[in-house]
Structure 1
Amino acid sequence: MVQEDVELRRAEARRARDSERVKKLHDGRLRSIGADIVGVKNQIAEKQQRAKDLAAEEEKQAQEQEEIQRYLIRVEADEALQRREEANRLRKEWTTQSLTRNERREADIAKSTKEFAAIKVDDCCVSAAQKFDGEDRCRHERLRLQAAQNREWATLQMTEKQARAQAERDETRAYADTMANVSRLQFEAETEYDREKAKQALEVRKFNEAMLNQQRQASFRAKQRNQEMNNDEILSTVTSALVSETPLQAKLDVPHRVRVDHWKGLSNEEARAVINANDNLLQLKQAKRDADKEAMIEEARQQDILRRQMTEYEYEAEKKRVQQTLEVQETLRRQAEEAKERSFR
């Protein structure tokens, strides 16, 4: 009954652990991507303790079996000795009964040896010393029956032990299969997570590249439009007689006459001021172009840094995943070796 209670408690504890593990696997908030190192260590310690208990129990059973074997050997030796003594006694009796009258040492008042009959112990009196009070005539049969019962009990114990060992091996194999399935599910979940993460990173990279290309195209179109506007402005300034204030616009058909109302000439100081303003405007435009170029270079540098960081992060994640996979494989290999050693025992 005690052994059955222990097995029942073990089964209940195992079912509770499996239930908790299933809850963690099916609940995304509680499931951790990777191996449960603490749980694996606890399982290893529990298996080692169970192996020690099983070894102690096997040693105890071996001692009991050895004692039973010694007892059976003693019983068989006693039976063999008794059979030899019985055979010697019968041999002596037959030898004595087969002697002739002349060969016997004791006096015989019988007329012929044919009148002798086998001794009936139950009919003999006390003085014949053939039967005694308290004598156990069924001793040898009882010992033989006890030996047979012990032999049967030992065989039954060995059968039960083999059945328990087989059940333990089956349970260990089932547990190993369950852990392998759990590891496979974890690996698939990690693979799917890494694939989704890589997909998102690729989409982010494509989006950033598209935004960068769009910004570059917009900047190029703006520069091209500005250049066209500058060219148009320069062309209109050069070709317009009013804006360029050429003296030819005031020329008349009459020589040496000028229309003052059509002439808007500038003094040297005013012309120099206009030239300086144009130079300042050109410098500002050049500074703006330089600033835009530096901004583009800085943006490209930031994008490069971002890509490097993403690459390093992906490398570290892959390295961590590989390390966890190796740890899980090592744990499964060690569990398989332990199960194999227990099966050999």
Structure 2
Amino acid sequence: MYKVDLPVDQSIERAVERRRSAETTRKARIFNTRLRVMGLDLDALNQQVQEKKHQQNMDMQRDKAFDKLRKYHDEALLQQDIDEREKQAALHSDLTQYWATHQRVEDSRDADLKCGLKGAFRITIPEGELGPASMQILQGEGIGEEQKSREQMKKRERDLQAQIEEKERRHMADKHREMLVSKSLVHQDLRGVQLHALEEECKKAARIALDNYNQALSTERAEKLKDQHRREERENLAELRHTLRSDMMTECGEAAERDVGGGRPPRVLIDKWKGMSPEQLSAIHREREEQRLEKQRRRDAEKIQDAAWELQLLKLSREAEEEERRAAELRREKRLQTDRYNMQLAREQQAYEEYLNKKLYTNKPTKDYFYQFNTSSR
């Protein structure tokens, strides 16, 4: 048997190597403390950055395409405008050339009227000098041309006369129309002048009536002022006479008192009062002394009441101090009980920790125990 070297299939090894490199990359990404703590997904972020750059490039390309399209449209519109102008210029040039070639003034029927000529153009140079090719009128042509020209001129004269008469008739009709319009305007102006005059007359009559009314009002007001002045003078004179004869000038004390009836005290007239009598003054002094004594009695009673309130407040403050002292003693006793209870809990906790550390947790794990975890990304 001959030994044959068969080709080795490398696909399995490449697949294993590819999975192995993917596992290494995955472990590096998963066991990276910074990425695990911060929660960053670099692949997603990079993909977002690439997508944003791609979108920006697409937007730039679209804007450039729009700019090119806009520039192309502008150039097309400008070229279309230039072509249109060139076409119009060429058409105008062709039309001018056609007019100059086929519609000359010399070739028209009324050339003699426009150019001051009679009949057709004739060459004044002898034919012998120009030659046969320069002949304009041959023999046998132009028979009856003079008669025809005279008939045409008469027809033109009749047409011209008819146009002149028609123009004169239109002119007369326009003048007649303008005359009617001017007459109407004059009539309107006269009517306006008459109305304005009537309006001025009405305004003048209204002003005269208003002036008369104002004059009457002024006269009436002057009369009222005079009557009021005379009435005030009579009233002032009567008041002066009454003042001179009244009790105020005679200084009568009883005149200041007026009996109002009904068992009420007499009313004092202020404008006639001349002062108080000695009996009234002594009554006022007695009443003031009684008020002073009453105020002194109220002041003594208030002092006694204030002293009683101060004694009561002192008693209440002593009771409050005693109550505060008892509350402080209770708080101190409670704090001591709490301290003793906390010390008991601390001793129990210490004993429990000694039990855990010295009796229960005696087999401590080594480093190999922790190294067996997180060795794979799956």
TM over 0.5: no
TM-score scaled by length of structure 1: 0.30
Q: Which has the higher contact order (CA 8 A, sep 6+)?
A: 1
Computing the radius of gyration from Cα coordinates, the structure with the larger value is 2
